[in-house]
Amino acid sequence: MISPDDYDHKGQLRLPFTFWFILLLQARTWLLFVMAGASREQGSDLLELFYPDTRAFWIGMALGIPAALGLLLTGYRQRLPRLWQAWRWVLCGALLAMMLMQGLTLWQGDEQLSLLVVLLSLFDLLALGYLVLSQRLLNCFNPQLNAAE
């Protein structure tokens, strides 16, 4: 049940806080890159700590692009309704690809990062479940419900 309080001043259905958290979770490599850039002297050490393999870093950057674009798309929900509606599935696909990459990392047996990878995989699985099953979020991606009448 949607109440009038669920809409913002533009007439758009407010996105749940959890959705913003999911976007940040998916863009984690981008966030780490920005943090490394902000701490110039220790930036390379920070990146090497989380991404000892530079190839995994670039894959993480690529898999974070849908979330970064999703952050930008939130402001264009009414102007680009079909793209916005499809973007939920793009985010789900990116999460599945991230979990596949994390599974490969675990399979390769990197002992140093295994606990972190398992934890991130768990968060990604929860995020995927929320993107697919949350009725509130589904309503936010529905163009008919996204504009107040």
- Terminal alpha carbon distance of the chain: 15
Q: Angle 73-116-106 (CA atoms, 0-180°, nearest 5)?
A: 100
Q: What type of residue sits at position 97? A: A
User: What's the whole-model pTM score?
Assistant: 0.84
Domain ranges of the chain: 14-140
Res 148 pLDDT > 50: no
Query: 121: Cβ–Cβ under 8 A, 6 or more apart, which residues?
Result: 99, 102, 103, 106
Over the stretch 66-122, which tens digit does the pLDDT of each residue have?
999 999 998 888 888 899 999 999 999 999 999 998 888 788 776 666 777 888 889
Over the stretch 52-75, which tens digit does the pLDDT of each residue have?
778 888 998 999 999 999 999 988
d(CA 17, CA 135): 14
Res 1 pLDDT > 70: no
